Structure 1
Amino acid sequence: MLLTGAEILVKSLLNEGVDTIFGYPGGAVLNIYDYLYKYKDKIKHYLSCHEQGAAHAADGYARSTGKVGVCIATSGPGATNLVTGIATAYMDSVPLVAITGNVSKDLLGKDSFQEVDITGITMPITKHNFIVKDINNLQETIRKAFFIAREGRPGPVLIDIPKDITSNKTEYKDLKPLEVEPKSKHITEDVLAEVAKYINESSKPLIYAGGGVINANATEELINFAEKLNAPVATTLMCRGAIPSGHRLNTGMIGMHGSNASNILATRCDLIIALGARFSDRVISDREFINNAKVIQIDVDPAEVNKNVKVDSFIIGDIKVALQRLIPLLDDKKNQEWLNTVDDLKLLAVTKNNNDNGEELTPKFLFEKLSDMDKGDFIIATEVGQHQMWTAQFFNFKTPRTLISSGGLGTMGFGLGAAIGAKVANPEKTVFNIAGDGSFGMNCNEFATAVKYNIPIKIIVMNNNALGMVRQWQSLFYEARYSQTTLDRATDFVKLAEAFGGVGFRVEKRDELENVLNEALAINKPVIIDYRIDSDKKVFPMVAPGAPIHQIINEEDLEC
């Protein structure tokens, strides 16, 4: 069957199971968009306000489902506008395929109108990228791109297609997607036995669980593993929801804004078991505590093993498979003395700053209300900043893939697009975007996208008239010199919501919150809630940059 490159692309996407694309058209992708129009009954296209919003929406779609998210942009500025979204997906191991158009082959390398070397630009932030210069390679390139995005450690792949490739014709055959198998060839009996020996000899183990657990769909195995060992579980931001917040072994987040319990346990354990976690600088800080314990690492990506921390033993391979084969080799443990220590330290989890004495609006008050209302169908997207950390600390996550947040890159402006993608992928779920007023200002134009398609996401702007996290650092480490972090904007978020065609609410008193949330949930439209908090509210606990993980700053320390 002789088809144009544009039709081959669209039919190949259908073969990969794609039914949703986020994008923005332009001259270099007109042929592709013409076929998207012809196949609009099979692939739903969402027109974003900005290409970055399309990339974040595809990312949110992927994180909330485990499927590959797809976005498309034209050449030049359209392609470069995807870069931040691609980098965000890369840092958090999100399966994404970004498709860009380019000028025709004869115009490449000549500084042509809207030409840019997008494969060169994105080489450091993709698992792989392609420029298709021969139409005969197009179909196989698409199949490879989806395979690479999904296999092993997931990540973004970019396909750049010159315009003449989309109009040329070649033979097309219906081909099945390349099959992805869990990586297990290095999970041998010998390595399993060695790791099991370390675990069985331990009396104070700590499980350090990262986003790789969720990527591997290994959350059930994580819980079984923890319960067999009676070992506390400290999670990274990317792993929130992998074990329910209320589980007896969950000690909360670890790292710079981790719980007192998780951070102190990391210095008192005799074995750290890292599952799908990369020992990032925001978790381990100065690495001093690693010297106090043996370290085991299980990860699908061999590049992560011994990269940031020297380990005593490791398993390279799919975490789900590794845990399924490892658990039968482990002794059932009581570890009662260790568990008593865990329970004692968990009582330190709430500091004075996070208590809710008085009538002011606080982050904890908000998230307790949201947690009470969640019947297991809430997905929480976030922007980046204080509100992101409060979400991770205070919301009662019950299941995986319910926190959609930019961890590695820390992309302000991520949450709104991601919430749109998550809601499109999960129409039966209630999707919130928790934002700061600074982050929301980055990409608030995407609220128009939500209104256009009536995607009824609920945005809560934690409005403190400041770039809160940067202000917090200035308060603690720069003698309160608030350089360019007080926003002083006259933006009325209620009117902004209405101007875009949505619904706006404002909460200034505690007794208003529950009614506003109930009203927002009852409205089948996009909603913005302006939630006013004090600009000096800080995120605690906190570990100063570069300080040992157990040197924790709590609010009461500042009052001394």
Structure 2
Amino acid sequence: MNDSSKKITGSQALLDALVAEGVDTIFGYPGGAIMPVYDKLYDYSDRLHHILVRHEQGAIHAAQGYARTTGKPGVVLVTSGPGATNVITGITDAMMDSTPVVVIAGQVAASALGTDAFQETDLIGLTMAITKWNYQIRRPEDVEWAVSRAFYIASTGRPGPVVLDFTKNSQVGLTESAFKICTSIDSYNPEPLFTDAKIDAAVRLIDSAEKPFVVFGQGVILGNAEKELAAFLDKGGIPAGSTLLGLSALPSDNPHFKGMIGMHGNVAPNVKTNECDVLIAVGMRFDDRVTGTVETYARQAKVIHIDIDAAEIGKIIPVEVGIRGNAKKVLEAIVRKMKPASHDQWEASFEEPYRIEYEKVIKPETDPGEGFINMGEVVRTVAEVSGGDATIITDVGQNQMIGARYSKYTRTRSLLTSGGLGTMGFGLPAAIGAKVADPGKQVCLFVGDGGLQMNIQEFGTIMQEHLGVKIVLMNNNWLGNVRQWQEMFFNERYSQTRMLNPDYEAIAGAYGIRSRIVEDRKDLEDAVRDMFSDDEPFLLEVRVIEEEMVMPMVPPGKGIDQIMLNRNEWYENGK
């Protein structure tokens, strides 16, 4: 720390504050309005590793991947104007998916604000609705105050993005260093205390339930409540299903885990949602892709909703008991008071819908035996070769749903995907962030030909940083998910979804990334083993069937138990 009597610039105050907050990595791109910070950053290379991305959207998604892997806020440093506006999509994505990131953007001098100066943009106005907090630093004296609060707000309670708009005069002006870690803010209560009465009410419902069912989401991971969730399920003998972002909170082979819920979720947990008598929702928000038609969702059940964010409780689904609190602490309290129980017959009832899904969907998708390669068999092969130990990143679309459905999870925080916003282009930079965060783990990205091209320039970041990211491109020459909806709901009018693709192998080679193309399934396993044979970057392009559909599917406007198994068959009303 600097002596309080010594004057330092606002830029140095920022970097000292980042070091004090435990930051080791920054994702960014320099420019005019942030240049004083970058000049001072030259002296911090021994303490702060700066990752030079190729586009600011790459910086924010990489920071998300870093944050989701480590649980610590990811840090982004960009310039004003287009540098700042290029991170807007990622900030929104982080807000939707409760990802802690701190974005520091350069801004024109305070004296020039409101004059339409070169590259001036009202970043505070632009990001007010998509951040937990944003603040414009107009004086160097406010730098350390703002940074300490930014990290506290981003990482506590329900995590989320924070933006600091850093005027140029504040970067070059002098101040005294007196940094203090923020531990509380008046009127901000990130983790409220829940009452014994709420716990007792929940326990009474759970103990009396004949068909209890747990739906858990990313709140379990964010609250570090994985062990508590497993203990709760074991003690109560309760089956559970996961939202997309909750995947990996429980290992895939946990005996109580019944699969993913939602539009492309597994049949059994979806239909059993509408048969359970007590539904315990932990760290999830009843997104429309989870519920299907709200009017028919779990109407027979008494609902217990546990969430850190009071705004989510009762917002969409009426609740019998709402408990605002950290999932880890709430589950600990419930487990202490609940009675040991088993619901063997209820859990056994999940087997028949699973059998039907396996015969009609899973086996044909993951082991077709003939014809073109399916995406599902690509994901299954990766899971088998990696032993389920790789960190799986997905982009958005068919690759996302297939990747989530057929990957195997042996440890928490091993699936990173864009959930609430569904951002194509998320995958490649997020994989970069995950690899930087945990270089000892294999990081495998599933991506489509549409999503890869949205941020393909980040091959340059992989090259410069020597990052061993494994990229599995499932190439079907279409915007596959949109094509699927056009086939199903728009009378096969394939408007603007056919892709004329480049030579990905040549592009990868230009960036020093080794690659292989697979068109025949007999070559698939060998190619995957080749990909995982070292820790160098690798692009595996698999030419998959063009007209593939992601099934099962709950179509828009249908209840969660009205499920298409394929183009011609439905699972509905329990059969």
Task: Bin the TM-score by the shorter chain.
Answer: over 0.9
Q: Deviations over 1:382-419 (max 9, x none)?
A: 11000100011111111111101000000000000000
**Which residue is 1:461 aligned to?**
473
- Is 1:347 equivalent to 2:359 in the alignment? no
Shift of 1:373: 1.9
- State the alpha-carbon separation in 2 of the partners of residues 453 and 410 from structure 1: 27
Q: Which whole-Å CA distance do the structure 2 matches of 1:485 and 1:55 have between them?
A: 27
Structure 2 residue 326 is matched with structure 1 residue 318: yes
Cα contact 1:302–1:316 (8 A) shared by 2 = yes
User: In structure 2, do the counterparts of structure 1 residues 455 and 182 end up closer, same or farther at CA, with 3 Å as the change threshold?
Assistant: farther
Alignment of 1:135-146 (within 5 A): 135-146=140-151
Is 1:233–2:253 an aligned residue pair? no
* Residue number in structure 2 paired with 1:551: 562
Runs of 4+ off more than 6 Å: 179-182
Aligned residue for 2:454, secondary structure, equals: helix
Conserved? CA contact 1:16–1:177, under 8 Å = no
Aligned 8 A contact 2:193 2:325 in 1: yes
Which position in structure 2 is the counterpart of 1:170? 175
The answer as to 2:95 corresponding to 1:90 is yes
Aligned partners of 2:51 and 2:484: how far apart in 1? 37
- Amino acid in structure 2 at the alignment position of 1:550: D
**Aligned positions of 1:388-467 closer than 5 A:** 388-467=400-479
Distance 1:214 1:268 in 2: 27
Which of the numbers 297, 314, 327 marks the counterpart of 1:289?
297
Matched position secondary structure for 1:548? coil
Residue matched to 1:133: 138
- Alpha-carbon distance in 1 for matches of 2:361, 2:485: 16
Structure 2 matches for 1:309-388, cutoff 5 A? 309-354=317-362, 355=364, 356-359=367-370, 360-375=372-387, 377-388=389-400
Residue among 280, 283, 286 paired with 1:273 = 280
State the partner residue of 2:86: 81
Matched, 1:32 2:37: yes
Q: Could you tell me which residue of structure 2 aligns to residue 505 of structure 1? A: 516
- Deviations along 1:163-217, whole A, 9 cap, x unmatched? 0100000110243353799965431111110111111111101101011110001
Specify whether residues 99 and 184 from structure 1 end up closer, same or farther in structure 2 by C-alpha distance, changes over 3 A only: closer
Alpha-carbon offset, residue 522 of structure 1: 2.5
CA contact (8 A) 2:99 2:159 kept: yes
Asked if 1:5 is matched to 2:10, the reply is yes
Secondary structure in structure 2 of the residue aligned to 1:158: strand
For 1:252-263, what aligned pairs fall within 5 Å after superposition?
Answer: 252-263=259-270
Q: Distance in 2 between matches of 1:92 and 1:404?
A: 11
Whether the aligned pair in 2 keeps the contact of 1:5 and 1:165 (CA below 8 Å) is yes
The two structures, once aligned, show a CA RMSD in angstroms of 1.6
2:201 maps to which residue? Answer: 194
Question: Equivalents in 1 of 2:155, 2:129: separation in Å?
Answer: 18
Deviation at 1:464, TM superposition (A): 0.4
Cα pair 1:205 1:272 within 8 Å, conserved: yes
- Tell me the alpha carbon deviations over residues 202-245 of structure 1, each in whole angstroms, 9 at most, x when there is no partner: 11011010111100010111111111111111100000001111
The separation in 1 between residues aligned to 2:95 and 2:322, in whole angstroms, is 24
Residue 306 of structure 1: aligned partner = 314
Distance in structure 2 (CA, Å) of the matches to 1:389 and 1:517: 20
The one-letter amino acid paired with 1:313 is V
Deviates more, 1:172-181 or 1:68-77: 172-181
Secondary structure, counterpart of 1:160 in structure 2: strand
Gaps in structure 1 of 5+ consecutive residues: none
Relative to structure 1, the CA distance from residue 423 to residue 126 in structure 2 (aligned partners, 3 Å threshold; closer, same or farther) is same
For residues 38-68 of structure 1, give each alpha carbon's deviation from its aligned partner in whole angstroms, at most 9, with x where no partner exists.
1011000000000000000000000011011
TM-score when normalising by structure 1: 0.97
Q: How many residues align?
A: 559
Shift of 1:252: 0.8
1:357 Cα deviation (Å)? 2.8
Residue type of the alignment partner of 1:241: S
Q: Report percent identity of matched pairs.
A: 41
Q: Distance in 1 between matches of 2:338 and 2:82?
A: 54
CA distance in 2, matches of 1:512, 1:211: 36
Conserved? CA contact 2:138–2:169, under 8 Å: no
What is the Cα deviation at residue 370 of structure 1? 1.4
Q: Which moved more, 1:6-15 or 1:503-512?
A: 503-512
Q: Tell me, yes or no, if structure 1 residue 122 matches structure 2 residue 127.
A: yes
Note closer, same or farther for the CA distance 1:174–1:125 as it changes in structure 2 (3 Å cut): closer
Cα distance in 1, alignment partners of residues 152 and 570 from structure 2: 54
Match of 2:532, SS? helix
Q: 1:117-158 deviations in whole A, cap 9, x for unaligned? A: 011101111111010112212101100000000110000000
Shift of residue 546, structure 1, vs aligned partner:
1.9
Question: Does 1:206 pair with 2:213?
Answer: yes
CA contact (8 A) 1:183 1:318 kept: no
**How far apart are the structure 2 equivalents of 1:454 and 1:436?**
23
Alpha-carbon offset, residue 353 of structure 1? 4.3
Please state if 1:151 is matched with 2:162: no
Q: Deviations along 1:508-537, whole A, 9 cap, x unmatched?
A: 111211221222223443211111111111
Contact 2:276–2:298 (CA<8 Å) still a contact in 1? no
Instruction: Output aligned runs, 1:484-503, within 5 Å.
Output: 484-489=496-501, 491-503=502-514
Distance 1:376 1:540 in 2: 22
Q: Pick from 542, 546, 551: which aligns with 2:553?
A: 542
The alpha-carbon deviation at position 465 of structure 1 amounts to 0.4
